[in-house]
Structure 1
Amino acid sequence: MGVLFLFQDPLGDDHGLGYLYPQAALYREAGEGFADLLALAGEARDGKLVLRVRLARYPNPLGGPLGFSLAAVVLHLDTAFGGEEELLPGLRTPKGEGWEVAYLLTGFGAEERTPGGEKRAVPARKAGEWVEVETPLPPGPYGYYGAVGLFDPFAPWYLRPVSPQGGPWTLMAPPGSLPAVDLLAQDPKAQAEAYQSGVLRPMRKGGFPLRRESLVAFALGFLSLGLAFLLRR
C-alpha cells in the first residue's frame, strides 16, 4: 500500500456560483456540507489504483449502505492522449486532455463508465471519514476531474438538476448552470473560473500535463544529448 497523491479542495465552497439547495424537508434537516468535497486521494493496493474521497459531512436519511445518501461524486480520469472532452453538460476539459474512464460514487455504490456509455459496478466502501472506490486501473500519471452534486437516481450522472425557480427537489441556479455544486479545484478562484468558462482543469501530481508534445520534446532532447556525447568521442 502506498499513497500516490492527495488533492485538497477548499471547505465551504459547495454552492457553485450562488446555488440554493432544494427546499424539501430532507435537505433542510440535513443541513449544509454534505456535498462539499474536501479531498481526493489515490493509493496503490495490490497493483491497482484505489480512489479515496473525503466529504465534509455524511448525513444518511435514505439509509445508503456506504453511510451517506444525499451526495453524488463524479470522477473523470484522463489516462491517455485524446479522450472525451465533455465532462458534464456545460463543462468540458481543456483541449487534448479528455477523459477515458469515469467513476460515479453514491451512498448506494460505485460504478465505472466509459465515454461510449458502458457501465459496470466496482467495489466501494466507507473507511472512517473517507469513501473508497476500487478501480481495475494500474497506478499511473493520470489527470483527475472531480464534481459533486445532489444525488438523483434518475439523472444521467446521478446529479440532481437545476432550474431558475428551484423547488423542493431542484437546485436554484441560473439557466444553463451545471448540475454540480462543487468542483475539484485548488482554490475558490480556480473553481469560479471553471464555472464561468465551462472548462475545468485537471488535477495532476506535480502539475504536469500528459501531452504528446511534451513527451516528443523530451525524447528529442535526450536524443540530442546522446548525439553530442558521441560526436565528442
Structure 2
Amino acid sequence: MGVLFLFQDPLGDDRGLAYQYPRAALYQEAGEGFADLLAVGGEAQEGRLLLKVRLARYPNPLEGPLGFSLATVALFLDTGEGGEETLVPGLRTPPGEGWEVGFSLTGFGAERRDPSGKRTPARVWREGEWVVLDTGLPPGAYGVYGGVGLFDPFAPGYLRPTSPSGGPWTLLAPPGSPPLVDLLAENPKDQVRAYETGVLKPSRPPRLSLRRESLLAFALGGVSLLLAFLLRR
C-alpha cells in the first residue's frame, strides 16, 4: 500500500458562510462537529485509488452501518481534460477543471456517479476514525474536490438543501448557497473565497514526490489531526 497524498482541512469550519443548522431536535442533540471535514487522503492499493475521509465526530442516531448517519460527504475527481464544472447547486469548479467521477458517501453506503447522472454502488468501509472508499480508478495525479453536508435520503446527492429562512429540516443560508457546510480547503481563506464566489479550487497532490516524503507527510498529518481532536474534546 502506498500513501499518495493527505489534504487537511481546519477544525471547526463547518458553518459555511454563517449557515445555521436545522432546528429539529435530532441536530440539536447531536452536538457540533459531525459535518466537520478534517482530512482527505489517498492511497494506492492493488492498482486502485482509495480515498480516506476523516470527520471530527461520528454520532449515529439513525444507526447507519458505517457508524455515522447525519453527514454526507461529496467527493469529485478531475481525471482528465474538460469535465463537468457544476459540483453541486451554487458551487462550480474553475473553468476547464471540471470533474469526471463523483462520489456520494453516507453512513449507509456510497455511490459513484458520472456527469450524465448515472449512479452505481461503490465499496466503502470504516478503518477506525477514517472512512475508506474504493474508487475503482487507477492511482493518478487527480484534482480532488470535497465537501460535507447534512444527510437527506430523499435529496439529490443525499444533501439536505439550504434556504434563506431555514427550518426544522433545512439549512439556513444566503440565497443560492451550496448545500455543503464545509469545503475541502487547507487554507481557511480559500474556503471563504469559494463560498463568496461560488468557485472551489481543486486540491492537487504533487506530481513528483518520493514515497518516503508522502509517508512522512501522512504521519505528521495524523499527529496534527490527533492533537486537534484532543483539543476540541
Q: Say yes or no: TM over 0.5.
A: yes
Bigger-Rg structure (1/2): 1
**Partner residue, 1:28:** 28
**Partner residue, 1:175:** 175
Task: Extract structure 1 runs of 4+ deviating beyond 6 A.
Answer: none
Distance, in Å, in 2 between the alignment partners of 1:75 and 1:16 is 17
**Partner residue, 2:113:** 113
TM-score (ref. length: structure 2): 0.88
SS in 1 for 2:158: coil
**Partner residue, 2:201:** 201
Distance, in Å, in 2 between the alignment partners of 1:177 and 1:136 is 31
**Partner residue, 1:59:** 59
Mapping for residues 43-192 of structure 1, pairs under 5 Å: 43-192=43-192
Q: Provide, for residues 114-169 of structure 1, a one-character-per-residue CA deviation record: whole Å limited to 9, x for no partner.
A: 00111100110011000001111000010000010000011111110111111111
Distance, in Å, in 2 between the alignment partners of 1:40 and 1:7 is 5
Distance, in Å, in 2 between the alignment partners of 1:173 and 1:91 is 14
Q: Provide, for residues 43-66 of structure 1, a one-character-per-residue CA deviation record: whole Å limited to 9, x for no partner.
A: 011110000000000000000000
Distance, in Å, in 2 between the alignment partners of 1:165 and 1:106 is 26
**Partner residue, 1:5:** 5
Q: Which letter does structure 2 place at the counterpart of 1:72?
A: T
Distance, in Å, in 2 between the alignment partners of 1:177 and 1:198 is 8
Aligned-pair identity (%): 70
Q: Which letter does structure 2 place at the counterpart of 1:127?
A: E
Cα offset for 1:207?
8.0
Q: Which letter does structure 1 place at the counterpart of 2:108?
A: F
Distance, in Å, in 2 between the alignment partners of 1:87 and 1:75 is 9
Distance, in Å, in 2 between the alignment partners of 1:29 and 1:187 is 30
Distance, in Å, in 2 between the alignment partners of 1:156 and 1:169 is 15
Structure 1: where are the runs of 5+ without partners?
A: 209-233
Cα offset for 1:90?
1.2
Q: Which letter does structure 1 place at the counterpart of 2:109?
A: G
Distance, in Å, in 2 between the alignment partners of 1:86 and 1:177 is 13
Distance, in Å, in 2 between the alignment partners of 1:53 and 1:45 is 16
Distance, in Å, in 2 between the alignment partners of 1:67 and 1:46 is 26
Distance, in Å, in 2 between the alignment partners of 1:84 and 1:165 is 30
Cα offset for 1:206?
2.3
TM-score (ref. length: structure 1): 0.88
**Partner residue, 1:18:** 18
Cα offset for 1:187?
1.6
Q: Which letter does structure 1 place at the counterpart of 2:34?
A: F
Distance, in Å, in 2 between the alignment partners of 1:11 and 1:33 is 9
Distance, in Å, in 2 between the alignment partners of 1:72 and 1:53 is 11
Distance, in Å, in 1 between the alignment partners of 2:83 and 2:189 is 26
Q: Which letter does structure 1 place at the counterpart of 2:73?
A: V
Q: Which letter does structure 2 place at the counterpart of 1:159?
A: L
